[in-house]
């Protein structure tokens, strides 16, 4: 197994509770087995799978689980995180804010929808902007708890950049609170992970000021 593969394997298993044999089964076989199990679940619920509207639902769910909303469970889907030299000597904080988060609560398998704000201070290396969004999306696309997601984003950024100076804030709504249980439609959940220089109150304050900037765009 390559060094890159080792890292992906590490990130997918250290903080997410998956079995050691989780990725031995090909995706096609996973989809086949999930489809069969979903037929059982829908049948138990009393749905008529011979109906035109429902006949393809088990297959659609299986494909969605494996190739879309839970694709972050497969380390082969982790984005390549190669960084490059900071030749322009940018020495200030870089912030990518309002990154869309679409995840799934691992307790009830209901959606988590929100925004992530990620920042780092270069230690001689920089990362392409889209890579930050891809890191967020990769770790979001699995059954999650928001606290773990926030930490995973920071650890992946640190690994990619070779620096401790990374921060992440996630602000999200959990449909398990909105559509069931307490049914609170107004609250959101905030989690934060500050590392390196971001533990300094003044640096942290600067980061918070950046993400609260009311930027408006034409597109």
Among 96, 117, 174, 193, the one annotated catalytic: 174
E-assigned strand segments in the chain: 84-85, 93-105, 111-121, 125-126, 143-144, 166-174, 189-194
Helices 129-140, 146-161: crossing angle, 10 deg rounding: 140
146 is catalytic: yes
Angle (CA) 73-183-211 rounded to 5° is 60
Q: Which residue, 194, 181, 7, is CA-closest to 82?
A: 7
Catalytic residue among 96, 117, 144, 146: 146
C-alpha–C-alpha distance, residues 42 and 117, integer Å? 38
Give the Cα separation of 144 and 106 in Å (integer).
Answer: 5
- Exactly one of 13, 159, 164, 176 is catalytic; which is it? 176
Residue 144: active-site member? no
| Residue in 108, 147, 159, 206 annotated catalytic | 108
Q: How far is residue 113's CA from residue 62's CA, in Å, rounded to a whole number?
A: 21
Annotation says 168 is catalytic: no
Name the catalytic one among 35, 96, 105, 144: 105
Told to judge if 9 belongs to the known catalytic residues of this protein, a careful annotator would answer no
Closest CA to 164 of 122, 195, 132: 195
For residue 34 the two structure tokens come to 């999930």
Is 106 designated active site?
A: yes
Is the separation of the CB atoms in 207 and 119 below 8 Å?
A: yes
Catalytic, out of 29, 40, 43, 107? 107
108 is catalytic: yes
Of 106, 147, 164, 206, which one is the catalytic site residue? 106
117 is catalytic: no
> Which sequence positions are flagged as catalytic?
105-108, 146, 174, 176
């Amino acid at each position: 197994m390559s060094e890159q593969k080792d890292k992906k394997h590490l990130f997918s298993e250290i903080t997410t509770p998956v079995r050691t044999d989780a990725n031995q089964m090909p995706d096609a076989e996973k989809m086949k087995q999930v489809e069969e199990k979903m037929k059982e679940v829908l049948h138990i619920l009393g749905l008529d799978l011979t109906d035109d509207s429902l006949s393809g639902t088990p297959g659609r769910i299986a494909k969605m689980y494996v190739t879309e909303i839970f694709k972050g469970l497969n380390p082969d889907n982790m984005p390549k995180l190669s960084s490059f030299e900071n030749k322009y000597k940018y020495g200030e904080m870089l912030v990518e804010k309002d990154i869309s988060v679409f995840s799934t609560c691992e307790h009830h398998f209901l959606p988590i929808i929100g925004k992530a704000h990620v920042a780092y201070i270069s230690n001689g290396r920089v990362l392409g902007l889209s890579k930050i969004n891809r890191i967020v999306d990769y770790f979001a696309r699995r059954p999650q708890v928001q606290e773990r997601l926030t930490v995973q984003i920071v650890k992946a950024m640190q690994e990619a950049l070779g620096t401790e100076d990374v921060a992440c804030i996630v602000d999200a709504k959990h449909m398990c609170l909105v559509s069931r249980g307490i049914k609170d439609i107004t609250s959101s959940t905030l989690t934060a992970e500050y590392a390196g220089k971001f533990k300094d109150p003044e640096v942290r304050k600067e980061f918070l000021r950046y993400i609260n900037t009311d930027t408006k765009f034409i597109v």
